[in-house]
Amino acid sequence: MTPSNTETIEVADKIQETVEIVDQVSEYSHVITDSLYLLVGGMLAVFIIHKLVSKLLYPFLSETGLLTRLIKVIFGTLYVLTLAIAMLLVIRELGFDARAIGKITILVILAGAVLVFFLVPFIPRLPFVFGNLVEINGVMGIVHSISSFHTTLKKFDGTLVYLPNALVMASKILNYHQVSERRIEMNISISINSNIQESIDIFMKIMNDDKRVINDPAAPSVFAIEADSSGIKLVGYCWTKNDDWLSTRSDLWIKLVATFLRTDHIAMAKPQKEIYLIEQKR
């Protein structure tokens, strides 16, 4: 037998093996198609329902509350059940008895869901998730990524800050995302000769006239907190939605300063220093 004939036979054998594999795949193509339909369709249905529930219920629930945790565990269980059912369908179509395996699988998934529901509060975890606005160890930014070793914050100037998780857990963490309302604090000093009551009334009116300022958890208020030779210090407090905090604070400051500057009986305090001249004796 010549080498050319040997190579021809080997190529023919490989082609025959490929054809047999294609035939086997074709035989189970409906199984693959059905399982993919079930997997994709089930996952998509659970995802849509989860999104609707999150928009309708989550704004009215505490992020760490019992009901919120229950909803998350239920939808997590549905995702896993959808995947398990798709796998059991494939096993059954391949000719195996999936009844015993199915019962064990469902029991394991349900037992795992119950275990997760009760153990989640005791599992150590970082007090923020991807996308939260936080301040960690004096660095403020959006949580860009979380790995096993580092938490990455994206600052407002676009730079990335990598913080070791050990440092993160040992630092003071301010999470501005988990609160629905946020307080605005405004400190301003007026001249000692200004009309104090008129200044307070104007301060209150500016805050009350802004539609973004809310009365819950507390109505706007103004207090005189300090007085010295340079002037009287006023502090105003008001609450707004977390998403409106920065824009509301900026607009209130602009209106407050502009109003005080054009009001006759009110003047902004100016820094003062007293200089004593000591005459030296000759």
Average pLDDT, stretch 152-159?
A: 91
Q: Model confidence over 227-236: pLDDT tens digits?
A: 887 789 999 9
Q: Which two tokens stand for residue 232?
A: 């009287």
State residue 1's pLDDT score.
46
Q: Domains of the chain: which residue ranges? A: 3-122, 133-175, 181-261
CATH of range 181-261; options 3.30.70.100, 3.40.1390.10, 3.50.50.60, 3.40.50.620: 3.30.70.100
- According to the per-residue pLDDT averaged within each range, which of 25-29, 168-172, 197-201, 269-273 is highest? 197-201
Mean per-residue pLDDT over the chain, rounded? 81
Evaluate if residue 281 carries a pLDDT over 50. Answer: yes
* Main-chain phi, psi angles of 113, to 5 degrees: -65, -45
Asked whether the beta carbons of 185 and 237 are under 8 A apart, the reply is: yes
Per-position DSSP letters for 170-189, written without gaps between them:
HS-EEESSS-SEEEEEEEEE
State residue 227's pLDDT score.
87
pLDDT confidence band for 97 (50 / 70 / 90) = confident
Q: Model confidence over 117-135: pLDDT tens digits?
A: 777 666 667 778 888 889 8
State residue 252's pLDDT score.
96
Asked whether the beta carbons of 266 and 194 are under 8 A apart, the reply is: yes
Average pLDDT, stretch 107-122?
A: 79
CATH of range 133-175; options 2.30.30.60, 3.40.1710.10, 2.30.30.90, 3.40.50.720: 2.30.30.60
Distance CA(155)–CA(151), nearest Å, equals 13
Average pLDDT, stretch 74-87?
A: 84
Average pLDDT, stretch 222-249?
A: 91
